[in-house]
Amino acid sequence: METSALKAKAAQIRMDLLTMIHGAKTGHTGGSLSNTDILTALYYRVMKIDPARPKWEERDRFMASKGHSVESLWCILADRGFIPKEELKTFSQFGTRLIGHPNNKVPGIEMNTGALGHGLAISVGMALAAKRDNKSYRVFCLMGDGEQAEGSVWEAAMAGAHYKLDNLVGIIDRNRLQISGSTEDVMGLEPLEEKWAAFGWNVVSIDGNDMDALVNAFEAVPTVPGKPTLVMANTVKGKGVSFAENVPHWHHHVPNDEQLQHALAELSAELERYQQEGQVR
């Protein structure tokens, strides 16, 4: 997909996830909105995947370490054909596969995640396996910025650098808000880029809601031979919905009927604008 089509797709995924959360009356809204552009770039442009063969040995791997923001991922897996779109209506309902965190009973999910701090360690193992088996696939691991307070993240970071895993990409959804407020008030992270660099990673800092920047960063991997890459994706929590942007309350707030219609109208206008942009090009 060209970037104008990717932007339009991200707007549609945001509409889908809001509708899904509204119907289920539960979900992590803010973080799913902030990471939608990241996942759209990966699943529609960058990653080597085949929905018809979710266990294809040569596939790129995606690990949602930030497991609570799964809503955007469910919508993308449905849109890509890993699961039926109708199944989105079962989100968080009794007996569903589409629970509030990634569930590997669903095609396209590598591992159950949810307890923060585990995804990067698993991703290190996957990337190391690729190296030892002479496989060309890459491993992408999405983390939250609040998750950086977990000690296991930094153990995994050391291991990734030690084994020179240049097929590993860590991504931080740096929206600067977590469930209890600002990340810097809860547990100060800065200077975060310098910390990752000190742990031996090549750090690329971008606007994480800029599709061109995302595609360029991900497609450049391995950026530095022999080093894993950390993409610091500076995002806006609640991105795309004016009344939810940068509002901590929307970490897991569910839109009411009126808010849903307002949000869908905003996103529909954005979708139309990007579609027109693509036609002009």
Side-chain-side CA neighbours of residue 123 (13 Å): 37
| The residue count for the chain | 281
Would you say residue 131 has pLDDT above 60? Answer: yes
- pLDDT digits 0-9 by tens, 51-100: 999 999 999 999 999 999 999 999 999 999 999 999 999 999 999 999 99
The rounded mean pLDDT for the chain is: 96
Map out the domains of the chain as residue ranges.
3-280
Q: Nearest-CA neighbor of 32 among 3, 74, 63?
A: 74
Q: Give residue for tokens 């880029």.
A: 193
Tokens in use for 70? Answer: 């799964």
**Dmax of the chain from CA atoms?**
54
Would you say residue 137 has pLDDT above 60? Answer: yes
Would you say residue 280 has pLDDT above 60? Answer: no
Q: Nearest-CA neighbor of 71 among 113, 114, 29?
A: 29
Q: Which fold has domain 3-280?
A: Rossmann fold (3.40.50)
Helices H, strands E: what count in the chain?
9, 7
The runs of H, that is alpha helices, within the chain are 3-24, 29-41, 71-80, 119-132, 151-162, 183-186, 192-198, 211-219, 257-280
Strands 177-178 and 181-182: antiparallel
Q: Give residue for tokens 């296991």.
A: 152
Contact 244, 250 (CB under 8 A): yes
